């Protein structure tokens, strides 16, 4: 009986060890892009960090449910989106949608070509329904179908949103260039 217990214990220990290794691999492979995704969802570094921590905690607790390593990325994104939605339910009253109160900052406009800071700001002004598919495409290299599955949308809707997202960015950039042209001229 004791011998069997010992074998069971080592088996439990080695399966725990395997689970740890799996989790650490998951963290190393995805934490950076998952953080960036969270950041672009909420546009706040510390909130993003909180969500990422919650996400990985849940991932750890249900790691056994992840059968296919290839699905890990999508699985983490799904958990993260759920965590983000939960945060909204909790804090609905405290939050103001930044899109509605975005304050136009023109102190940076005199700084030459398309600056990263400007793009950063413009990305932030895209509404979430355009921004999210674009981030999935650019950050994770998802195809239209994959984005559609992830966001539970029709593929045509996704393609339209991607088109509109880039279109809006382009127009905004052109408008700024005109602006700057006028200001400089």
Partner 1 sequence: MDELEFRRRIYANPNTTDSDLVAAANADEKKRAFWQEQKALDNKLKQTLKVDVPEDLASKLIWQQSADEFSRYKKRSRWYVAIAASVAFAVGISFTMLQQQSISLGDHALAHMQYVDVEESHSLLPVDLNMVNAKLASFGASFDTMIDGVEVANYCHLSTVQSLHLIVDTPQGKMSVFVVPSRDNVKVPSEFEDDSFHGESFKMQQANIIVVGNKGSDLSTMKDAVANRIQFSA
For partner 1, the binding residues (CB under 8 A) are: 20, 23-24, 27-28, 31-32, 35-36, 39-40, 45, 49, 52-53, 56-57, 60-61, 114, 116, 119-120, 123, 134-135, 137-139, 144, 159-160, 162-164, 166-167, 169-170, 173
**Closest by alpha carbon to 123, among 114, 134, 113?**
134
Our CB check for partner 1 shows the closer of 1 and 93 to be 1
CB of 32 to partner 1, least distance (A): 5
Please spell the DSSP secondary structure of 40-109, one letter per residue: HHH--HHHHHHHHHHHHHHHHHTGGG---GGGHHHHHHHHHHHHHHHHHHHHTTT---GGGGPPP--TTT
**Closest by alpha carbon to 121, among 94, 98, 153, 96?**
98
Our CB check for partner 1 shows the closer of 74 and 144 to be 144
CB of 57 to partner 1, least distance (A): 6
Q: For helices 155-184 and 116-125, what crossing angle results, to 10°?
A: 130
Our CB check for partner 1 shows the closer of 61 and 70 to be 61
Q: What gap in Å lies between CA 43 and CA 63, rounded to an integer?
A: 28
Q: What gap in Å lies between CA 119 and CA 106, rounded to an integer?
A: 13
CB of 69 to partner 1, least distance (A): 18
Our CB check for partner 1 shows the closer of 61 and 185 to be 61
Cβ neighbors of 136 (< 8 A, separation 6 or more) are 37, 77, 142, 146, 147, 150, 151
Our CB check for partner 1 shows the closer of 40 and 75 to be 40
CB of 92 to partner 1, least distance (A): 26
Our CB check for partner 1 shows the closer of 5 and 92 to be 5
CB of 119 to partner 1, least distance (A): 4
CB of 131 to partner 1, least distance (A): 10
């Amino acid at each position: 009986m004791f011998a069997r217990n010992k074998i069971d214990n080592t088996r439990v220990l080695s399966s725990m060890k395997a689970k740890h290794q799996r989790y650490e691999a998951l963290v190393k492979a995805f934490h950076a892009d998952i953080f960036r995704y969270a950041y672009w969802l909420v546009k706040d570094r510390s909130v993003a960090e909180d969500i990422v921590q919650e996400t990985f905690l849940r991932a750890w607790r249900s790691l056994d449910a992840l059968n296919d390593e290839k699905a890990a990325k999508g699985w983490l994104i799904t958990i993260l989106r759920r965590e983000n939605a939960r945060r909204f339910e909790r804090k609905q009253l405290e939050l103001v949608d930044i899109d509605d109160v975005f304050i136009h900052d023109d102190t940076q406009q005199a700084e030459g070509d398309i600056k990263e800071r400007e793009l950063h700001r413009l990305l932030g002004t895209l509404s979430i329904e355009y921004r999210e598919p674009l981030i999935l495409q650019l950050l994770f290299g998802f195809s239209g179908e994959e984005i559609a599955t992830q966001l539970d949308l029709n593929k045509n809707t996704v393609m339209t949103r991607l088109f509109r997202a880039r279109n809006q960015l382009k127009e905004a950039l052109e408008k700024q260039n005109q602006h700057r042209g006028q200001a400089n001229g």
